[in-house]
Amino acid sequence: MQYIRSHVLICAGTGCTASGAKKVETALREELAKRGLEKEIKIVETGCHGFCEAGPLVIVYPEGTFYVRVKEEDVPELVESHLYKGRIVERLLYREPVTHASVPNYKDLSFYKKQQRMVLANCGHINPEIIGDYIANGGYEALAKALTSMSRTDVVNEVKKSGLRGRGGGGFPTGMKWEFTQKAAGDKKYVVCNADEGDPGAFMDRSVLEGDPHRVIEGMAICGYAIGAEEGYVYVRAEYPLAIKRLRIAIEQAEELGLLGDNIFNSGFNFRLKIKEGAGAFVCGEETALLASIEGKRGMPRPRPPFPAISGLWGKPTNINNVETLANIPQIIVKGAEWYAGIGTEKSKGTKVFALTGRINHTGLAEVPMGISMREIIFDIGGGIPGGKKFKAVQIGGPSGGCLPEELLDLPVDYDSLIAVGAMMGSGGLVVMDETTCMVDLAKFFLTFTQAESCGKCTPCREGTMRMLEILNRITEGNGRDGDIELLEEMSRNIKTTALCGLGQTAPNPVLSTLRYFRHEYEAHIHDKRCPAGACSALTGYSVTELCKGCGLCKKACPVEAISGEVKGRHNINQETCVKCGACIAKCPFKAIIKG
């Protein structure tokens, strides 16, 4: 048997792959072969490790040395110094932004210290395309336990006692949903995994499917057993080719080992999975629209009741959970409901995976216990705001969520606390904004998205969001009117109470939350014709301050000759001619030109 002295883990998630991880892997294999080390050093392709901002990531075990931003040209030195001579390559280590101290082991990074990785436990540590890696880490123990020592009702009750709530946005108790479907009358039932992740800036479900697909498959099989379903569908958007590829491989491997198919663990339980690729319509994240899409119809919501638990896919009882919800199931069955319920808060149990994006130092994935504060997520885990800028707001919950200001940074992150302040957990998108972000423009951005993604079936969503967007466009273009704010509020309330589905009902949330906490910015746009953040070009001008030395560089850089002035004299900008391109600011060596 060949002795393997080191494992080199290379992140092969979408983010690191886009940064050149495949080139690093190829170069590493070639370099090891040159030195005759290919048999004693094993290369492992993993899924996303979460620290996306610093990719490509390479981890060397057993030391656990964590290398960041590794390039193809770094490989010879990495092999020579670390893998051959046992010396850490200092320049490839991560350095903390405040202390500038290098961190050899990933567990010591501030990004990971406050995380509690349960759903993401295997991501970045196993090869998702090898079922043996998953089994070696306890994979399919939960399915075996459920099928051989628990009744269907036992499984449902364990999930109920755990307190797990749906991670797709609504936060409905998972065990209760399973119980409804289990008790529903029907000769055939279905399990559906909602992997139609469509929020801007969200990539939690994609990363779980890419890095640990068997965990989701196992969760679906356990659900199938509990509710009496023998067939399941994973509805995943076609824009996730790597997730789809690894999911297909995982299903084939599970079938080969008898973990999917007929008579699993000699229990008499049969279960099969199929993949349905969605076309990328955001509305198909709504469960009834998703079911219509699987059936080959146009993805449009329908009124409820009846709910899918009673009449779902092809009119049969159907249980729908999202990726993260199902990924929690195996550990609940293996470790018990009491263990799981001991994590989080009284009404929000377990952990939550967030995608950190926007104006934040550490972009990536973070899994934290429920009840942690927003401040800890953004500043302790996320590393704060880059470039010395001030924190302004955080958008949580995607287009369906809301914006929270600085005074709410110490708010505990759980379902009920967020709803109380006009936001929602959503699927876990978390977009951070600094002082340069215009909140009116941000509300317009999210409403533009939801308006474009509206299926058009109901009038409140189809027409109401369009009218609201027209008002926001006028405001950001300097044509706001008295009464616009009140009209936005009235229309938002009407849409929330009359729209057919969750997409329409939550579409006004970004507008309502920004009006609630940043009303002064709307007023400045409408009454003062001014954008306080300097982001709306129609309301922003450039001016020359007393710091001007009259060097003339701004004048030469201006493409429309809007700047005048003599050498060594203070220059002026013609506001009517200025196209607000910013070329003058970029060229001024004295920082004498300001925007605002």
Residue range 36-47, pLDDT digits in tens: 888 899 999 999
Residue range 116-126, pLDDT digits in tens: 999 999 999 99
61 strand-pairing partners: 7
Q: Which part of the chain has CATH 3.30.70.20?
A: 541-595
Residue range 240-253, pLDDT digits in tens: 999 999 999 999 99
Closest by CA to 319, choosing from 455, 420, 222, 431, is 222
DSSP of 55-99, one letter per residue? Answer: -S-EEEETTTEEE-S--GGGHHHIIIIIIIT----GGGBEE-TTT
CA dist 403 and 448 (Å) reads 16
DSSP of 152-198, one letter per residue? Answer: HHHHHHHHHHHT-B-TTTT--BHHHHHHHHHHS--S--EEEEEE---
First to last CA, the chain: 70
Predicted local distance difference test score (pLDDT) of residue 596? 67
Identify the CATH number of the domain defined by range 6-113.
3.40.30.10
CA dist 449 and 471 (Å) reads 15
Predicted local distance difference test score (pLDDT) of residue 481? 94
Structure tokens that stand for 291 in this block: 């079911």
CA dist 501 and 289 (Å) reads 9
Predicted local distance difference test score (pLDDT) of residue 426? 80
H/E segment holding residue 124: none
**What per-residue string of b and e applies to 330-364 under the rule 16 or more CB within 10 Å gives b?**
bbbbeeebeebbebbbeebbbbbbbbbbbbbbbbb
What lies within 8 Å, CB to CB, of 563 at 6+ separation is 544, 554, 555, 571, 572, 573, 574, 584
H/E segment holding residue 490: helix 484-498
Helix, strand, coil distribution of the chain in percent, nearest 5: 45, 15, 40
Identify the CATH number of the domain defined by range 131-341.
3.40.50.11540
CA dist 19 and 195 (Å) reads 24
Residue position matching structure tokens 């393997």: 4
Instruction: Answer whether 572's CB lies under 8 Å from 554's CB.
Output: no
CA dist 154 and 160 (Å) reads 10
Crossing angle for the helix pair 465-476 and 439-453, to the nearest 10 degrees: 150
Residue range 149-203, pLDDT digits in tens: 999 999 999 999 999 999 987 789 999 999 999 999 999 999 999 999 888 888 8
Residue range 260-274, pLDDT digits in tens: 999 999 999 999 999
Q: Which CATH number fits domain 541-595: 2.40.50.140, 3.30.70.20, 1.10.10.10, 3.40.50.300?
A: 3.30.70.20
Task: Report which residue type is found at 126.
Answer: I
Predicted local distance difference test score (pLDDT) of residue 492? 95
Cβ–Cβ contacts within 10 Å for residue 88, how many?
16
Q: Which part of the chain has CATH 1.20.1440.230?
A: 439-527
CA dist 521 and 139 (Å) reads 52
> Is pLDDT of 324 > 90?
yes
CA dist 54 and 67 (Å) reads 9
Residue position matching structure tokens 């290098």: 102
**Residue count of the chain:** 596
Beta strands 563-564 and 402-405 are unpaired
CATH 3.90.850.10 fits 439-527, yes or no: no
Closest by CA to 397, choosing from 344, 446, 330, is 446
Cβ–Cβ contacts within 10 Å for residue 151, how many?
11
> Is pLDDT of 1 > 60?
no
Structure tokens that stand for 284 in this block: 């198909």
564 strand-pairing partners: 572
The answer, yes or no, to whether the previous bond of 305 is cis (omega within 30 of 0) is yes
Coil vs helix vs strand at 31: helix
Fold adopted by 351-434? Ubiquitin-like (UB roll) (3.10.20)
Predicted local distance difference test score (pLDDT) of residue 247? 97
pLDDT band at 569 (very low <50, low <70, confident <90, very high): very high
> Is pLDDT of 335 > 80?
yes
Predicted local distance difference test score (pLDDT) of residue 253? 98
Predicted local distance difference test score (pLDDT) of residue 270? 97
The answer, yes or no, to whether the previous bond of 508 is cis (omega within 30 of 0) is no
Predicted local distance difference test score (pLDDT) of residue 579? 84
Q: How many CA atoms lie within 13 A of 381 on its CB side?
A: 29
CA dist 301 and 538 (Å) reads 38
What lies within 8 Å, CB to CB, of 376 at 6+ separation is 114, 368
Structure tokens that stand for 477 in this block: 């273009």
pLDDT band at 213 (very low <50, low <70, confident <90, very high): very high
CA dist 127 and 536 (Å) reads 46
> Which residue would you say has higher pLDDT here, 402 or 475?
475
Coil vs helix vs strand at 567: coil
CA dist 157 and 342 (Å) reads 17
Q: Which part of the chain has CATH 3.40.50.11540?
A: 131-341
Instruction: Answer whether 358's CB lies under 8 Å from 202's CB.
Output: no
Percent of the chain whose pLDDT exceeds 90 = 80
CA dist 331 and 116 (Å) reads 14
pLDDT band at 99 (very low <50, low <70, confident <90, very high): confident
Q: Which part of the chain has CATH 3.10.20.600?
A: 351-434
Residue range 419-462, pLDDT digits in tens: 899 888 888 889 999 999 999 999 999 999 999 988 889 999 99
Beta strands 6-11 and 41-46 are parallel
Task: Report which residue type is found at 143.
Answer: L
Average pLDDT over residues 62-89: 94
CA dist 243 and 491 (Å) reads 39
What does pTM read for this prediction? Answer: 0.91
